A and B are shown apart, each in its own frame.
Chain A
């Protein structure tokens, strides 16, 4: 009797400890987001009083900062720019990565494997290594300060990783399927279009979301190539043009940072498992 009591106590103690550990982690990761959201609804007089509880409303909430974001900043323009760049990057990434991945995983044999790994490693080349020569390339193409500069350069990040991800998907589709289709009279490209691509749809969706979120997240190339407010994407415009010298800008700043980051986070989260599989298979490719 006593023993079972002790076991039960120990068990509930463990459960509480477990919950506490998770709570601490969630507080650490999510507090900045909660504070962004709360800040965006607080009156300035509430925000800029150091004695007020920063995490709660000491005065009734207000929509003033949100009105400011939508009517008096280029926030919507930045969202539109981000969407344009994102869509264009998706198209270029798929056009380059899909055939490359198919070729590397199906047509080129042992060499395809090695080249695939080499292409994946290109993903590790960071923007901060290349941004200076890239700025010269962009200005000699007369693309500086246009959305085209981002559309041309962002696939340097998305194509290598997407090719690698899609290679994994193509490899998981049995060869018999397309061989059967080819025996039935399909050409190889016909088999690719009719049999393989429909089966690779989850991989293609992953690539689409990855490419779009990259365009919405990238900061360094954006900061380097684009200087006019009107052609910025949201992840460049908000930190650069909305952080101002005086102190009364935190409400709109936090609101726009929250609104632009959470949808991207949700999109990214949807494909995270497949995205992570790209990294873990890189550590154990056969």
Chain B
């Protein structure tokens, strides 16, 4: 009986509130435009990418016929692809390792207050907050074959005669690309770590200091373990951004010299957009997906663990 009454009350329109005012109806209505937009312009292109990769579509004949996994087979066997795949991993992981060290050192150095801290922080953050396609041009100039800034310094120190030809030699070109990736991403990792430092429990740090623990001991035994989750978040985001980036390679080397510095995304661009081979380009791009998926899963896992504690 009372159950019936309750149900009747629940079904009764609340006074002054129409259907529009019901939370889930209104909520769905407000959410729909954004979800529709994302489905149409992210979801659909993603499915379309898979479709293209399974056909032989080109810019000339955009509706290709189904060829199964032929594109993937062809790509995996090509030497250019294997170089690009290897480079993508080399660039990403070596830059992440350096970023991790630099970001930890810098975030510790920024723990202390000093005059001009705001300006110093701004100057350090510049590479991350400025448009990367423009700032990488300055590195193009720094690595110039004749007027390289680095070469000039080395010549002043009598360590070098002539020029190194940074972007003309495969090994140096790869180092140059890693330097720019580090330069651009370590400020981002640093600010995320700074946020982590400021969230550390002050009383724990203080009592460790009172108990006589030194700087390194506090760093390695207290700060580092507590910072581990947020550090992983910083590295995961930075990995995703570096792994999928093609701007640095495009501006610095365009994949040269002799196609030795291509990454997956730049190869996808040159085959798919520049060369007009849509299906192969889409297939190369799709190789980015597994790493992105793994990163997303790891980020969610860290989040869930943070939720439990």
Q: B34–A97 contact, CB under 8 A?
A: yes
> Is A48 an interface residue when CB atoms closer than 8 A count as contact?
yes
Minimal beta-carbon separation of B287 from chain A (angstroms): 10
Q: How far is the CA of A36 from the CA of B124 in the complex (A)?
A: 16
Residues on the B chain within 8 Å of A235, using CB: 131, 133-134
Size band of the A side of the interface? 35 or more
> Is A147 an interface residue when CB atoms closer than 8 A count as contact?
no
Provided the pairs A35-B141, A107-B23, A125-B42 are in contact, do residues A239 and B149 lie with their beta carbons within 8 angstroms? Answer: no
Q: How far is the CA of A149 from the CA of B253 in the complex (A)?
A: 27
Residues on the B chain within 8 Å of A257, using CB: 134-135, 137-138
Q: Which of A130, A234, A272 contacts B42 (CB 8 A)?
A: A130
> Is A262 an interface residue when CB atoms closer than 8 A count as contact?
yes
Q: B41–A217 contact, CB under 8 A?
A: no
Provided the pairs A25-B106, A28-B183, A160-B38 are in contact, do residues A285 and B281 lie with their beta carbons within 8 angstroms? Answer: no
> Is B178 an interface residue when CB atoms closer than 8 A count as contact?
no
Provided the pairs A235-B131, A282-B233 are in contact, do residues A99 and B31 lie with their beta carbons within 8 angstroms? Answer: yes
Q: A272–B129 contact, CB under 8 A?
A: yes
Residues of chain A from 89 to 110 with CB closer than 8 A to chain B in the complex: 95-97, 99-100, 102-104, 106-108
Q: Which of B102, B264, B278 contacts A132 (CB 8 A)?
A: B278
Q: B52–A279 contact, CB under 8 A?
A: no
Interface of A is mostly: helix
> Is B167 an interface residue when CB atoms closer than 8 A count as contact?
no
Q: B233–A107 contact, CB under 8 A?
A: no
Size band of the B side of the interface? 35 or more
Minimal beta-carbon separation of B243 from chain A (angstroms): 8
Q: A243–B272 contact, CB under 8 A?
A: no
Stretch from A2-10, A195-203, A263-271 contacting the other chain = A263-271
Q: A268–B269 contact, CB under 8 A?
A: no
Chain B residue at smallest Cβ distance from A259: B134
Chain B residue at smallest Cβ distance from A185: B16
> Is A26 an interface residue when CB atoms closer than 8 A count as contact?
yes
Chain B residue at smallest Cβ distance from A93: B34
Q: How far is the CA of A128 from the CA of B34 in the complex (A)?
A: 22
Q: Mark A158-181, 1 if CB is under 8 A from B, else 0.
A: 011001000000000000000000
> Is A231 an interface residue when CB atoms closer than 8 A count as contact?
no
Residues on the A chain within 8 Å of B30, using CB: 99-100, 102-103, 107
Q: B135–A32 contact, CB under 8 A?
A: yes
Q: How far is the CA of A32 from the CA of B120 in the complex (A)?
A: 15
> Is B105 an interface residue when CB atoms closer than 8 A count as contact?
yes
Residues on the B chain within 8 Å of A63, using CB: none
> Is B24 an interface residue when CB atoms closer than 8 A count as contact?
yes
> Is A57 an interface residue when CB atoms closer than 8 A count as contact?
no
- Using CB atoms and an 8 Å cutoff, list the residues of chain A in contact with chain B: 18-19, 21-22, 25-26, 28-33, 35-36, 39, 47-48, 50, 53-55, 95-97, 99-100, 102-104, 106-108, 112, 115, 117, 119, 121-122, 124-137, 152-153, 155-156, 159-160, 163, 187-189, 213, 216-217, 219-220, 223-224, 234-236, 238-239, 243, 247, 250, 253-254, 257-258, 260-262, 264-266, 268-269, 272, 276-277, 279-280, 282-286
